[in-house]
Amino acid sequence: MDMMEKLEILTASAKYDVACTSSGSERKNQAGGLGNAVSMGICHSFAADGRCISLLKVLMTNGCIYDCAYCVNRKSNQTRRAALTPEELADLTMQFYRRNYIEGLFLSSGIMRSPDYTTEQMIAALELLRNTYHFRGYIHVKAIPGADDVLLSRLGLLADRMSVNIELPSQESLGRLAPDKSKSSILKPMSLIKERINENRSDLVKYNHAPRFAPAGQSTQMIVGATPDTDFRILTLTEGLYRKYGLKRVFFSAYTPVVEHSLLPALDTKPPLLREHRLYQADWLLRFYGFQAGELLDEAAPNFNPLLDPKCSWAVNHREQFPVEINRAAYEQLLRVPGIGVRSAQRIVKARRAGALDFAALKKLGVVLKRAQFFITCKGKMLEGLKVSEHTLLRSLMSGQELAALEPPQYEQLTLFDDSDLAALPAAGAAVHKRGDWP
C-alpha cells in the first residue's frame, strides 16, 4: 500500500473526531527551526486578517483492538486498515508543512497491541518532529486511556494540547456500547494531565526555561444521539469536567450512523444537528455567561427546547426577573438578557459611566434590540410603541430558520398576515420543553 492510499484511509477515519480547535498557545520559532504555533488558531480557524489556518488531522492507524459499537474503526467492522510508522508520519507532516498545506498536526490513533505500545509510537513520531525536524508548530494529540502515566507525561511535553475523549456521557452507555472502556480509565488520564499542567505552572515560575506541558490545556468530546442520555445529563457532566479537570473545551458530536448495530440508531437516521447546536450554545452560557446546568435544565425538562436557544428559553421561563434597567443593572444581570452578549455587556458598563443610555445608544453598542427590547428598560421606560404579546415575543426570539420551519407554504397573499399557526406556539413550546421531546 503506497503513502497516498494510507493517507486517504487514515484521514477519512479521523474525520469523526471533532475535539480540535484553535491552538490557544504560542510558540515562537528559533534559529534553525521550522514553523510557529499561534494563538489565533489551527484547525479550520481564521486569523484576524481572514487567513484560514489548518492542520493535518490523521490517525496513526485505524486498526483497533477495541470493539466500541459506535466506532467505524472497531475491530469487528469490515473496513480497509492502514498504519503509519513514526518516520512516515513525521516525514508526511513536514512535506505538507513545506508545501504550505498545513500549519500543525492533530494526531490520534486506534489502539495497536496495547495502550502503552500505541502511546510509544505517538511519542516516537512527535520526538522526530520536535527534535529531528525542529518543528515548532502546533500539535494536538489524543491521549490513550489506559496508557502508563510516565508515557502520558512524556507525550504532554511534546504536544501543545492533549485530549481524552469521553465519547459517551454515562457508565451505563459505556457498558453497553464500549465494553472495553470504563469511566475510571478515561478520567484517570484527565486527572493526570490536570496535575501535570498545574505542576508545570509552578516550575515555570521558578525556572524560565522549564519544558512546557500541554500549554494549551486539554479538551474532550462527547457523542450526542447514540444513546438515550438526556441533554441534562450531558450538560451536567460538562459542567463537572470544567470544574474538576479544568478543561479548555468540551466538544459535542452529533452521532452519524456509520455501522449497523441493534443498540444504535438505524443507518438512515439523520444526525441530531440541532441538538448538538443547542448543547454548544449552552456550553457557551456555562463558560462565559455565568449560568449553571441546573438553571437551564432539570429532571422535569431534561432536553432543550428546539424552538428557542437556551438563553431565550431560560428568559421566557423566568419572566419574573425582568425587565432589567440598563443603566443600573449589574454586569452579571446584563449577561442574562437575550440579545446582550459579553462584548455588548462590557460596552454598556463602560458607556453608562459617561451618561444614561437610551435604546438608540444600545443599538450602536451592538445590542440585538429585536430580542432584548422585551426584557429591558432605559431610564425606567420600555421601548416606545412596543406591544408585548406571546406571539410577538416568540416571533422575535426565534431565528428566521426556525420561523420558516413553523410557517406553512403561503399559497395565497391573504395568509401572509395570518398568525393562526402561531396561536398554539406558547403551549406547544412549553409542552415540548416540559416533555423533552424532539419533533
Domain borders along the chain are 3-24+38-304, 311-405
pLDDT at 59 over 60: yes
Cα separations in angstroms, 40 against 36, 53, 262, 344: 11, 9, 43, 22
- Calculate mean pLDDT across residues 326-333: 96
pLDDT at 288 over 50: yes
Contact 141, 59 (CB under 8 A): no
Distance CA 437, CA 302 (A): 9
Name the DSSP letter for residue 408: P
Q: Of 47, 151, 157, whose CA–CA distance to 103 is shortest?
A: 47
- For 227-258, what is each residue's pLDDT tens digit? 999 999 999 999 999 999 999 999 999 998 88
Check: pTM over 0.95? Answer yes or no.
Answer: no
Q: Of 161, 276, 265, whose CA–CA distance to 212 is shortest?
A: 161
Q: Of 19, 66, 409, whose CA–CA distance to 241 is shortest?
A: 19
- Calculate mean pLDDT across residues 46-53: 46
pLDDT at 42 over 50: no
- For 394-416, what is each residue's pLDDT tens digit? 777 876 666 666 555 554 444 44
- Calculate mean pLDDT across residues 418-432: 49
Distance CA 111, CA 131 (A): 25
Q: How confident is the model at residue 53 (pLDDT cuts 50, 70, 90)?
A: low
Strand residue runs (E) in 194-248: 218-224
pLDDT at 34 over 50: yes
Burial of residue 91 (number of CB atoms within 10 Å: 0-12, 13-18, 19+): middle
Q: Are strands 52-53 and 104-108 parallel, antiparallel or unpaired?
A: unpaired
Cis peptide before 323 (omega within 30 of 0): yes
Mean pLDDT rounded to a whole number for the chain: 83
What integer pLDDT is reported at residue 54 of this predicted model?
A: 77
Please tell us whether the domain made up of 3-24+38-304 is placed in CATH 3.40.50.2300.
no
Strand residue runs (E) in 321-415: 324-325, 376-377
